Chains A and B, each alone.
Chain A
């Protein structure tokens, strides 16, 4: 089966600034992919290109379509929340539901109404009367009620309190996600989505730093806490990053046999957040 998203030599320039630099990536159907990178890394440019919101150089196919030329057709099968709370301030909640129900063939009104009543948001209220968190809830209610093959979320829970964030991710996994759907998600709170991701893509300065499934990450990467006296011999195995913490040095290795490393100390698989820091700082030094 053809991949759901395929990019080949994807580039995007704003004047002399290169936001995406010959990016190659594929995303298969049924995955939950985290697109992780610092601010200005090109995350948003990549998402905007995939959603047909911007022109680009190179080849890009999403759900078998060319996003910029075929945005309208694409949006019947893909939906997105770009950043937070961009619902217009004058719009009433019931108008928003009516409008999306009117123009979107895959919108399921009862799903949206359920979500809204659970969040206790009344239909007659205008967006400017709602808190940022409630506005995001409305947007989520609208988007999750669309029976889409691809859902793109750009910082979906920014501005939500921890309870609302947790219930959002629970709903995403339990009610929304199944093997026919694919989710691409960017967030600063990597820890929060780590448990639901199947794949992680690290992006920095417009380039892909890492593109891997979580299982493969667990196999490829290993962190070892090394006591000071063993440090020099451990360094001989070429860790790509070192971190000094609580009197011990943690060394990060890529593609090294665990048996080789076991002598030096306690082994563990780095978290996505740690790996991200390690990978970005390591490659820069």
Chain B
């Protein structure tokens, strides 16, 4: 446990982007709120909870997308970077197992980075709502300060962080495997083998198994974790109505992904034990 505290602290020392990226996004949004147009939603009644939902959803979605991109880059780089600069020889001189090292990177990629984004999105939402309320007087005390909407947002974030960590475990495991193994260009190698298999399948076998499996994993998250569509004109609909806990955990693909992801992480640990230098 103590080791994990230090391992995660180590990642935060090294990867300043973990908090710099959300901080920059936050600053940009605050500047936009200060100097940009405030009447960004003009075709709905100002008191409608829909305004708050769109507003909070927009900020959360922005942080979520950037967070996912950064997290992927992080997982692809984290076991490659210290082999490239040979600092792995220093880290391996300390009594920390490769299992703990790999798991700590996984925790940073799937939990720590999303949590930082979540906190940043929340803080930004409060500040921007405050600025917008002051600038656009018609909204004061109105839609932006709906406690129910805010509460829904917190619940949604928690649900997304947990379910994303589970759903995308095989993606994270694949990134860690590539990162632990390749001699160069982890980003290229994360795609190339899949592309080759896809092309072989397509031209020699005429099938699309890999494409459909990978496509479902990458694009099927909202379908697996939520009911129907998140986009609805029903202004009374709450987040709780969309969250599909039973469906998510009842889906065999969730558990299959967990098993495959776990196997990939074990493979990444084995590679980490054997590959010391590039």
What are 17 A-to-B residue pairs whose CB atoms are below 8 Å? A53-B89, A54-B276, A71-B92, A74-B95, A75-B96, A80-B93, A83-B86, A83-B89, A86-B85, A86-B90, A88-B82, A91-B13, A99-B10, A102-B5, A102-B6, A102-B9, A143-B93
Smallest CB gap from A106: residue in B: B95
Report the interface size class on chain A.
20 to 34
**Given the complex of chains A and B, what is the CA–CA distance between A90 and B94 in angstroms?**
18
Which parts of B76-111 form the interface with A (CB within 8 Å)?
Answer: 82, 85-90, 92-98
**A79-B276 in contact (CB<8A):** no
4 residue pairs, one from A and one from B, having the closest CB atoms: A88-B87, A75-B95, A102-B6, A72-B97
**Given the complex of chains A and B, what is the CA–CA distance between A192 and B5 in angstroms?**
42
Residues of A contacting B86 in the complex (Cβ-Cβ under 8 angstroms): 83, 86
Picked from B14, B89, B96, the residue with its CB within 8 Å of the CB of A103 is B96
Residues of B contacting A91 in the complex (Cβ-Cβ under 8 angstroms): 13-14, 87
**Given the complex of chains A and B, what is the CA–CA distance between A68 and B90 in angstroms?**
16
Residues of B contacting A81 in the complex (Cβ-Cβ under 8 angstroms): 93
A76 close to chain B: CB less than 8 A: yes
**B93-A82 in contact (CB<8A):** yes
**B97-A88 in contact (CB<8A):** no
Residues of A contacting B92 in the complex (Cβ-Cβ under 8 angstroms): 51, 53, 71, 75
A87 close to chain B: CB less than 8 A: yes
**A89-B85 in contact (CB<8A):** yes
Which parts of A196-217 form the interface with B (CB within 8 Å)?
Answer: none
B2 close to chain A: CB less than 8 A: yes
B3 close to chain A: CB less than 8 A: yes
**B94-A100 in contact (CB<8A):** yes
B66 close to chain A: CB less than 8 A: no
**B2-A104 in contact (CB<8A):** no
Picked from A54, A71, A88, the residue with its CB within 8 Å of the CB of B90 is A88
Which parts of A41-82 form the interface with B (CB within 8 Å)?
Answer: 48, 51, 53-55, 68, 71-76, 79-82
Residues of A contacting B9 in the complex (Cβ-Cβ under 8 angstroms): 99, 102
**B5-A87 in contact (CB<8A):** no
Report A26 CB to chain B, min CB distance, Å: 23
B274 close to chain A: CB less than 8 A: yes
Picked from A73, A83, A88, A139, the residue with its CB within 8 Å of the CB of B95 is A73
- A99-134 vs B, CB cutoff 8 Å, 1 = contact: the mask equals 110111100000000000000000000000000000
Report A122 CB to chain B, min CB distance, Å: 17
- B196-226 vs A, CB cutoff 8 Å, 1 = contact: the mask equals 0000000000000000000000000000000
B24 close to chain A: CB less than 8 A: no
A residues near B (Cβ < 8 Å) are: 48, 51, 53-55, 68, 71-76, 79-83, 86-92, 95, 99-100, 102-105, 139, 143
- B244-278 vs A, CB cutoff 8 Å, 1 = contact: the mask equals 00000000000000000000000000000110100
**Given the complex of chains A and B, what is the CA–CA distance between A54 and B88 in angstroms?**
13
Can you add 14 more A-B contacts, CB < 8 Å, to A51-B93, A102-B6, A104-B94? A68-B273, A72-B95, A75-B94, A79-B93, A81-B93, A88-B85, A90-B13, A99-B9, A99-B10, A103-B6, A103-B94, A103-B96, A139-B90, A143-B93
Centre residue among A72, A73, A105 by max chain B CB count within 10 A? A72
- B1-21 vs A, CB cutoff 8 Å, 1 = contact: the mask equals 011011001100110000000
**B3-A95 in contact (CB<8A):** no
**A48-B276 in contact (CB<8A):** yes
Smallest CB gap from A101: residue in B: B6
**A102-B2 in contact (CB<8A):** yes
Which parts of B165-221 form the interface with A (CB within 8 Å)?
Answer: none
Smallest CB gap from A105: residue in B: B95
Residues of A contacting B97 in the complex (Cβ-Cβ under 8 angstroms): 71-72
